């Protein structure tokens, strides 16, 4: 509490008769020290007091001077007149921000009609930087502000003489943060998503961000201090809307958020298997466990060596046709969400299609104890085939194999009926074609045909 006013009133109050006789200016010039000067009085904006005089000017919208006295001002009538002539015009009051933008603020206030205010000084303070603006009306648009920054605006009324200022009235507020730009999903997983975004202003280092996560049934919020966030515990294959709002630190004011909608990835399919493997077709089945799977479709990638193609299915099975017999295929199944783009991890199986049945099976030679069979194959993949020859008589069954399209079967019993069946086998031994059979009697006598 400073006491700058102290020298002023004492002589004046102690000499009431003189006071009535002399013009105020003369009297004060005589009676007072330099502290009585208008500049010194008006510059004083804090509470001052002495034995007989107490001026409390700290409260916001009190008006004093301008012919009004408040409860905190205690002066003789003469002193009041004197006071009015040398001190403040009325304060402004009812200062408010009519509009708060990213880089501008519109302020309005009221003046005191009884005063001779002719203009206003608006002091704009952010941290340590100060600038002055002038307005001749009871409002001002303040521009070139920094987004998301705390400003203190103080409005001072200035009287006709241009030198005398009233008590300032202040308002503190944050400009709005600039909007989030370039929001994108850096990573989309089955149950998590990484979002990144950009804020193009210098105050952004002090921003915090609110991320609103919305699906059909629920909404929740996350906060981040940096321009990225990892959102976890999402459901697979589900559409989410993510909205990011920037806000100045310690402040709740937010610009309109920027949003992005996307599907999380579906989980990989389960239990992929070949329910049927034929010469030219394969039927695959699989399962899915996701809650959202009723909206899934499936992409089936079919690869054979260097050639590949895709099929789609709306159900958890597919029949793939026009395959080449006896050939290795790689089948990969991907779940795809309703956007038709977001896929889960693929699950693969490799299968050989069945070889075709052998052709032209015949006995080139039938002996008492042996038989020589020959056959043909037409499949393009046949150079990798092996063959199983099943030998059956009334009492026993055994198998032979051959790498070529003929076989000699020995140690047969003369004069016995045999059934020989030839199967083509793919090189992995996994898949056998249909068998082709021939029935023969071994010769009863020791001679050759």
Residues within the interface to ligand NAG (CB under 6 A): 24, 34-35, 37, 39-40, 43, 47, 49, 54, 56, 58-62, 72, 81, 84-85, 93-94, 98-99, 106, 111, 113, 117-119, 121, 126-127, 129-132, 136-138, 141, 146, 149, 152, 154, 168, 170, 172, 181, 186-187, 194, 198, 200, 215-218, 228, 230, 233-235, 238
3-state secondary structure of 36: helix
Q: How far apart are the first and last CA of the chain?
A: 137
Q: How far is the CB of 347 from ligand NAG (least distance, A)?
A: 21
Comparison of 206 and 374: residue with beta carbon closer to ligand NAG: 206
Give the residue with the Cβ less far from ligand NAG, 172 or 378: 172
Closest to ligand NAG by CB, 34 vs 446, is: 34
Residue placing its CB nearer to ligand NAG in the complex, 149 or 316: 149
Residue with Cβ nearer ligand NAG (184 or 350): 184
Closest approach of Cβ 212 to ligand NAG, in Å? 13
In this structure, the number of other CB atoms found within 10 A of the CB of residue 142 comes to: 20
**What's the chain's length in residues?**
449
Q: How far apart are CA 111 and CA 93, in angstroms?
A: 6
Q: Buried b / exposed e across 251-267, counting CB within 10 Å, b at 16+?
A: beebbebbeeebbbbbb
- CB nearer ligand NAG, residue 166 or residue 168: 168
3-state secondary structure of 254: coil
CA distances to 123, 252, 431, 435, 437 from 361, rounded to whole Å, are 106, 87, 20, 10, 8
Estimate the crossing angle of helix 24-31 against helix 77-86, to 10 degrees: 90
* Minimum CB–partner distance for residue 332 and ligand NAG (Å): 22
Smallest separation (angstroms) from ligand NAG to the CB of 34: 5
Closest approach of Cβ 85 to ligand NAG, in Å?
3
CA dist 385 and 316 (Å) reads 32
Nearer to ligand NAG (CB atom), residue 154 or residue 405: 154
State the minimum distance, in angstroms, from the CB of residue 156 to ligand NAG.
Answer: 8
Integer-rounded Cα Rg, in Å, for the chain is: 49
Note whether 261 and 239 are within 8 A (CB). yes
Find the shortest distance in angstroms from Cβ 358 to ligand NAG: 54
Q: Measured from the CB atom, is 344 or 443 closer to ligand NAG?
A: 344
- The residue (of 137 and 359) whose beta carbon lies closer to ligand NAG is 137
Closest approach, Cβ 209 to ligand NAG, in A, equals: 13
Residue whose Cβ sits closest to ligand NAG = 127
How far is the CA of 83 from the CAs of 17, 25, 66, 76, in angstroms? 17, 11, 10, 10
120, 126, 130, 135 alpha-carbon torsion, rounded to 10°: -20
Task: Compare residues 69 and 152 and give the one whose CB is closer to ligand NAG.
Answer: 152
Q: Do residues 9 and 16 lie in contact, with contact meaning Cβ atoms separated by under 8 Å?
A: no
Give the DSSP letter of residue 369.
S
Asked if 240 contacts 262 with a C-beta cutoff of 8 angstroms, the reply is yes
Task: Give me the least distance between CB of 28 and ligand NAG, in Å please.
Answer: 11
Q: Which residue has the tokens 């004011």?
A: 253
Cβ neighbours of 364 (radius 10 Å): 10
Give the nearest distance from C-beta 221 to ligand NAG in angstroms: 13
């Amino acid at each position: 509490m400073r006491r700058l006013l102290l020298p002023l009133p004492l002589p004046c109050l102690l000499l009431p008769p003189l006071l009535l006789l002399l013009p105020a200016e003369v009297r004060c010039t005589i009676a007072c020290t330099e502290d009585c000067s208008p500049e010194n009085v008006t510059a004083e904006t804090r509470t001052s007091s002495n034995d007989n005089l107490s001026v409390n000017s700290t409260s916001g919208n009190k008006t004093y001077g301008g012919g009004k006295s408040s409860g905190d001002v205690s002066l003789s009538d003469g002193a009041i007149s004197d006071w009015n002539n040398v001190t403040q015009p009325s304060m402004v009051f009812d200062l408010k921000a009519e509009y708060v933008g990213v880089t501008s603020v519109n302020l309005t206030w009221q003046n005191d009609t009884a005063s001779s205010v002719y203009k206003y000084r608006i002091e704009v303070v952010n941290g340590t930087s100060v600038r002055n603006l002038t307005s001749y009306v009871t409002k001002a648009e303040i521009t070139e502000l920094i987004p998301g920054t705390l400003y203190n605006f103080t409005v001072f009324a200035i009287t006709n003489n241009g030198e005398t200022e009233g008590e300032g009235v202040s308002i503190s507020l944050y400009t709005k943060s600039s909007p989030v730009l370039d929001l994108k999903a850096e990573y989309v997983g089955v149950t998590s998503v990484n979002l990144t975004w950009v804020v193009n202003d210098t105050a952004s280092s002090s921003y915090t961000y609110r991320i609103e996560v919305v699906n059909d049934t629920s909404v929740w919020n996350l906060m981040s201090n940096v321009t990225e966030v990892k959102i976890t515990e999402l459901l697979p294959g589900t559409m989410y809307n993510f909205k990011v709002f920037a806000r100045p630190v310690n402040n709740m004011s937010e610009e309109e958020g920027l949003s992005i909608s996307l599907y999380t990835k579906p989980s990989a399919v389960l239990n992929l298997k070949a329910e049927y493997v034929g010469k030219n077709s394969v039927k695959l089945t699989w399962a899915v466990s996701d809650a959202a799977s009723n909206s899934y479709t499936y992409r089936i990638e079919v690869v054979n060596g260097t050639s590949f193609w895709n099929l789609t299915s709306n159900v958890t099975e597919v029949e793939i046709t026009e395959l080449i017999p006896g050939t290795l295929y790689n089948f990969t199944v991907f779940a795809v969400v309703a956007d038709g783009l977001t896929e889960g991890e693929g699950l693969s199986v490799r299968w050989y299609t069945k070889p075709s049945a052998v052709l032209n099976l015949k006995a080139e030679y039938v002996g008492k104890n042996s038989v020589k069979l020959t056959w043909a194959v037409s499949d393009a993949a046949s150079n990798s085939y092996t063959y199983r020859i099943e030998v059956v008589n009334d009492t026993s069954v055994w198998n032979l194999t051959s790498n070529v399209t003929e076989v000699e079967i020995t140690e047969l019993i003369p004069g016995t009926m045999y059934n020989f069946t030839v199967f083509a086998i793919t090189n992995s031994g996994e898949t056998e074609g249909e068998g082709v059979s021939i029935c023969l009697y071994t010769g009863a006598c020791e001679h050759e045909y």
